[in-house]
Amino acid sequence: MGRTPALLADTVRQRAGESEGEATVLADRPDGTVVRCGGLVAKAHAPDADPAALAVRVEVAAHPRCAGILLPPVGRVGALPNGRRVTLWPYGEPVSPEEPEAAPWEEAGALLARLHAVPVGGLPGPLPAMRGPAKAARAIARLRAAEGLNEAAAQAVLRAWGGLPGWARGEARTGGGALCHGDLHLGQLVRHGDWLLIDVDDLGLGDPAWDLARPAAWYAAGLLAPEDWERFLGAYRTAGGSAAGHHDPWPRLDVPARALTVQTAALALAKAAAARRALDEAEEAMVEACVRIARFTEAVG
């Protein structure tokens, strides 16, 4: 166990009252390390996480207006001896990858609609911006810095990126003032009594269409079955979601979905190059989607 996971394991054991309890590393990446001990989960956030913004995001998750939507934290933001900010959360059962037919797409759509409807006046603040576009820009920076890339694929991704408006590339604040999750996928739901959203690292004010963008991108690339897309979108609309329109959702979703397609393809290419491996089928589909996006953008000028 590395230094950060070991420090985090000590922290969560102490809080759980189990000095010798078994700690399980659930994730250990540069942008976050997650350790579980019993009914508690501790997360060490990215070294460059903004402490003030993280504190506000955690306070929002604990706010009564977000009850039943966001998993509430256990206490306030702390810090490890190495300086990494750490938060504590109750353990929730994640979505099972072994049962795709039982994936909670309706619950995800309804939770997003409720999140987007939360009145932001009076919430802890100042509320930071939703970090979705900034994460897309970081993926592109990682792609540009990678070595051993498939150059033709990388250039297609960069051309698709160049056709996006500035706000979708993190160059300006996104339009809209709704409370947004910023990084929605099924890995961001856990069952803790009911299904709840987790991971507030990207939570903030922005365009709620961004939260629908990843499922929309998967659907457009052929990776999400039409019936699952309809389950998700229908539940979002039924719960009063504001970002999908009443009929055709694509006028709102097109730009965010293209941005998430580019982000996903950029990360896939960079990771594949670092591991010296070929793209898998899903990664290939996202790169091919970028090729189509680039061709369309260049054709219409």
Q: What is the pTM of this model?
A: 0.94
Among residues 38, 52, 46, the alpha carbon closest in space to that of 9 is found at: 38
The H or E element that residue 294 is part of is: helix 281-300
CB of 89 closer than 8 Å to CB of 73: yes
Kindly indicate the confidence band of residue 30, based on its pLDDT and cuts at 50, 70 and 90: confident
Instruction: Decide yes or no: CATH 3.30.200.20 for domain 3-90.
Output: yes
User: Does 100-300 match 3-90 at the fold level?
Assistant: no
Kindly indicate the confidence band of residue 13, based on its pLDDT and cuts at 50, 70 and 90: confident
Extents of the domains making up the chain: 3-90, 100-300
pLDDT of 245 higher than 60: yes
Cα distance between residue 247 and residue 218, in whole Å: 20
DSSP summary character for residue 173: P
The H or E element that residue 94 is part of is: strand 93-94
Helix 213-220 to helix 226-238 angle (10° resolution) is: 150
CB of 137 closer than 8 Å to CB of 238: no
CB of 181 closer than 8 Å to CB of 206: no
Tell me what pLDDT residue 185 has.
95
The residue behind tokens 């408006």 is 165
87-138 pLDDT, tens digit each: 999 999 999 988 888 899 999 999 999 999 999 999 999 999 999 999 999 9
The residue behind tokens 């993280």 is 54
Cα distance between residue 180 and residue 205, in whole Å: 6
**Average pLDDT, integer, range 156-184:** 91
Instruction: Decide yes or no: CATH 3.90.1200.10 for domain 100-300.
Output: yes
Tell me what pLDDT residue 184 has.
96
pLDDT of 20 higher than 60: no
Most confident region among 4-8, 139-143, 168-172, 247-251 by mean pLDDT:
139-143
C-alpha count within 13 angstroms, C-beta hemisphere, residue 83: 5
DSSP summary character for residue 44: E
CB of 146 closer than 8 Å to CB of 224: no
Cα distance between residue 116 and residue 211, in whole Å: 9
